Amino acid sequence: MSNDDGLDRATSKDFGSLRGALTFLAPYKLQVVVASLALIVTAGVTLSMGQGMRIVIDRGFSEGSSEMLAQSLMVFTGLVVLLTVGTFVRFYYVSWVGERVSADIRLAVFNHLIRLHPGFFEKNSPTEIQSRITTDTTLLQTVIGSSVSIALRNMLMFVGGLILLFVTNVKLSLIVLASVPLVVLPLIAFGRRVRSLSRTSQDRLATVGTQVGESLRQIKIVQAFNHETEDERLFAERVESAFSVSVRRVAQRAWLVGAVMLLVFGAIAVMLWVGGQDVLSGNTSAGELAAFIFYAFIVAGSVGAISEVYADLQRAAGATERLVELLRAPNELPVEQPATVLSVDAPCRLEVQDVKFAYPLRPDMPVLQGLSFVLEPGEMVALVGTSGAGKSTLFDLLQRFYDPSSGSIALDGHELTQVDLNSLRSRIGFVPQDPVLFAGTLRDNLAYADPQASELDLRRALQLSNAAEFVDALPQGLDTPLAEAGVGLSGGQRQRLAIARALVGSPKVLLLDEATSALDAQSESRIRESILGLKGSCSMLVIAHRLSTVREADRIMVLADGVIQGMGTHNELMADNELYAHFARIQFADGATPETPVDSAAS
Ligand SMILES: Nc1ncnc2c1ncn2[C@@H]1O[C@H](COP(=O)(O)OP(=O)(O)OP(=O)(O)O)[C@@H](O)[C@H]1O
Ligand SMILES: [Mg+2]
């Protein structure tokens, strides 16, 4: 969603993208038909009033017939009632369709994005997308709910009014007609510019939303670094730049509307003058002139109204274009069909073969360079390596958040590209390095993988992860609410809860990315107990920053320079892997607990 090329396309494609929104109208044909009928009826009634006026003036007044006047007023009253009902129906259904369509577009965009490959959100900022879904669909909502209806109504009035003008008086109508191109040409010229400015202004608005989201979410960092003033400055810059683009857009629009008014009413003045001469000389009746003026105002008013909403439609086209872009973003992790669905009791033997990988954001910086290993069912393997070696990256690949650039990853002999993503991810339990929790209760967070999980499942998971104790100590227990991002728990508590969450789905493979900082010695030994308790029930791949974890493992793999440099037990690696020995000396030196045997890293 690069803004530059988006803008280029915006000017060339015009309303084409609005068609994307039109497909969303398809399910609501009935409402659209009702709204259109109401539209036609109200326009028809309004137009017929001019004819009524002519009759009243020419016959009722001129011929002095009060009976005629009374009759006409009865008809008039009937028309007013019809107009009232018609207007109600039109307004209700048109707005209904506008609200419904924008709600559907919101749903469609979200439903598409939530299943998209994570790499997409590295190239396109999620907060920006978020603000777009809100601002762009809101714009679309007002446009479909009102501008489109105004445009259609006025187009009907314009055409009908023009026909009736000719019916009433041909000579005067020609004067009106002559001014039409004078009005339409500036409309098109200004409209173009309004549209491209509108896209820019929506883009700027999105960046305003982005900063609010980021600053407020990280409020402690902002304040800890005394960054408030700088944030104010950056925010003001964005707001002002959005403002200046909007003002340019508004200026274009003001010119447009003003010019149209001048031309239209100029034409009316000329017409009045010519028509007035005709009435005076007796060539035209007063009623005819009155009706004519009525229609002329209707035609002029409708052109004015169209010119005003034309710009809105242009803006909506810009907004739709961005939403359609999001909707059409292809998923880069397609599953080969027919997809393999892993059964609940699949052994889940994991085989990684010669995997090479670079992140889409930095394609020239390989992270993994030929990684191969096997994780047997029930086995526990610890993965160690320096910071930035690519350990967390490997977890990303195992869950298929990205595909390797080359090489293969297979589960029970099925390439990940062939495995149904839901079944793959439900066999894998994942504890992220930064244990992310969501707003909601502890229970909501715990039952995240399986909202139907029984109380028993939840208790078991809490016991296994040693989280039961602190959860029970909370006054509201599992029903304790958490604020956004899990605010309200300590780092260690968050991590234990994240482990419990991963266990609720009874995964076959547990991927545990140990956080280095969050745990004290006591919690650490608890986690160690947890891992001990889990051993055998599922296979585990643990990114280890702690000796206690490493000691429990059946095997240890040393990751360096994107490949596995050594594999074996702690003692074996201490003896023959220089890198591991060095790593253990630094990494585990202060992690050594009193129960650490003498053969440990510290020795
Ligand atoms: N989304 C990303 N886009 C581009 N590069 C990335 C991305 N995530 C990580 N990297 C880079 O990939 C490399 C490996 O990162 P990774 O997170 O796998 O390291 P790690 O071994 O888990 O380190 P640590 O022990 O510090 O957690 C790093 O050089 C990092 O800068
Ligand atoms: Mg990591």
Q: What is the CATH number of the domain that holds 484?
A: 3.40.50.300
- The answer to the question of residue 219 being in a domain is yes
Reduced to 3 states, what is the DSSP secondary structure of residue 307? helix
| Cα 311 to Cα 180: distance, rounded to the nearest angstrom | 18
- The answer to the question of residue 336 being in a domain is no
- Which of 510, 516, 517 has its CA nearest to residue 465? 510
- The answer to the question of residue 507 being in a domain is yes
- Which of 107, 57, 118 has its CA nearest to residue 401? 118
Q: Are residues 197 and 262 in the same domain?
A: yes
Q: Are residues 58 and 109 in the same domain?
A: yes
Are the C-beta atoms of 537 and 464 separated by less than 8 Å? no
The 3-state secondary structure of 104-119, one letter per residue: HHHHHHHHHHCCCCCC
Ligand closest in space to the Cα of 432:
2
Residue nearest atom 17 in ligand 1 by C-alpha distance: 392
φ, ψ for residue 471, nearest 5 deg = -65, -45
Ligand closest in space to the Cα of 391:
1
Q: Work out which ligand 1 atom sits closest to the CA atom of 393.
A: 18
What is the Å distance from ligand 1's center to 45 Cα? Answer: 69
Q: Are residues 246 and 154 in the same domain?
A: yes
Torsion of the alpha carbons at 63, 65, 71 and 73, rounded to the nearest 10 = 70
Choosing from 122, 359, 401, 583 the residue with most ligand 1 atoms within 8 A of its CB, the one to mutate for a pocket test is 359
Q: Work out which ligand 1 atom sits closest to the CA atom of 394.
A: 18
- The answer to the question of residue 342 being in a domain is no
Are the C-beta atoms of 435 and 392 separated by less than 8 Å? no
Residue nearest atom 14 in ligand 1 by C-alpha distance: 390
- The answer to the question of residue 111 being in a domain is yes
Q: Are residues 196 and 98 in the same domain?
A: yes
CA distances, 132 to each of 3, 124, 561 (Å): 13, 12, 40
Residue nearest atom 10 in ligand 1 by C-alpha distance: 359
With a CB cutoff of 8 Å and minimum separation 6, the contacts of 542 are 380, 381, 382, 383, 510, 512, 514, 531, 549, 553
Q: What is the pLDDT of residue 592?
A: 45
- Which of 350, 371, 356 has its CA nearest to residue 567? 371
pLDDT, mean of each 10-residue run, the chain (603 residues): 36 56 85 90 87 78 72 83 91 88 90 92 84 82 81 88 85 76 72 74 77 82 89 91 88 80 78 83 83 84 80 78 87 89 88 94 92 93 89 94 94 93 92 85 89 89 86 89 75 85 89 72 73 82 82 89 90 89 75 40 36
Q: Which residues line ligand 1 (CB under 6 A)?
A: 122, 359, 361-362, 367, 385, 387-393, 433
What is the Å distance from ligand 2's center to 141 Cα? Answer: 43
For strand 428-431 and strand 509-513, is the pairing parallel, antiparallel, or unpaired?
Answer: parallel
Reduced to 3 states, what is the DSSP secondary structure of residue 538? strand
| Cα 317 to Cα 194: distance, rounded to the nearest angstrom | 11
Q: Are residues 63 and 123 in the same domain?
A: yes
Domains contained in the chain, number: 2
Cα-Cα end-to-end distance for the chain? 55
Reduced to 3 states, what is the DSSP secondary structure of residue 193? helix
Q: Are residues 320 and 376 in the same domain?
A: no
Are the C-beta atoms of 411 and 342 separated by less than 8 Å? yes
Q: What is the pLDDT of residue 26?
A: 87
Q: Which domain CATH number covers 306?
A: 1.20.1560.10
| Cα 22 to Cα 284: distance, rounded to the nearest angstrom | 47
Q: Work out which ligand 1 atom sits closest to the CA atom of 391.
A: 21
Report helix, strand and coil shares of the chain as percent, to nearest 5. 65, 10, 25
Q: Are residues 316 and 357 in the same domain?
A: no
Q: Are residues 379 and 284 in the same domain?
A: no
Q: Which domain holds residue 531?
A: 350-587
Q: Are residues 513 and 554 in the same domain?
A: yes
- The answer to the question of residue 337 being in a domain is no
Are the C-beta atoms of 391 and 559 separated by less than 8 Å? yes
With a CB cutoff of 8 Å and minimum separation 6, the contacts of 92 are none
| Cα 296 to Cα 173: distance, rounded to the nearest angstrom | 9
- The answer to the question of residue 92 being in a domain is yes
With a CB cutoff of 8 Å and minimum separation 6, the contacts of 582 are none
- The answer to the question of residue 602 being in a domain is no
Question: Is-cis flag, bond preceding 27, omega within 30?
Answer: no
Ligand closest in space to the Cα of 393:
1
Q: What is the pLDDT of residue 13?
A: 46
Residue nearest atom 5 in ligand 1 by C-alpha distance: 359
Q: What is the pLDDT of residue 510?
A: 92
With a CB cutoff of 8 Å and minimum separation 6, the contacts of 546 are 514, 524, 588, 591
Q: What is the pLDDT of residue 2?
A: 37
Residue nearest atom 30 in ligand 1 by C-alpha distance: 388
Choose the final residue of a domain: 295, 328, 361.
328
Ligand closest in space to the Cα of 390:
1
Q: Are residues 322 and 405 in the same domain?
A: no
Q: Are residues 272 and 380 in the same domain?
A: no
What is the Å distance from ligand 2's center to 35 Cα? Answer: 57
| Cα 463 to Cα 481: distance, rounded to the nearest angstrom | 20
Q: Hey, which residues does 294 pair with through a beta bridge?
A: none
Choosing from 367, 371, 430, 583 the residue with most ligand 1 atoms within 8 A of its CB, the one to mutate for a pocket test is 367
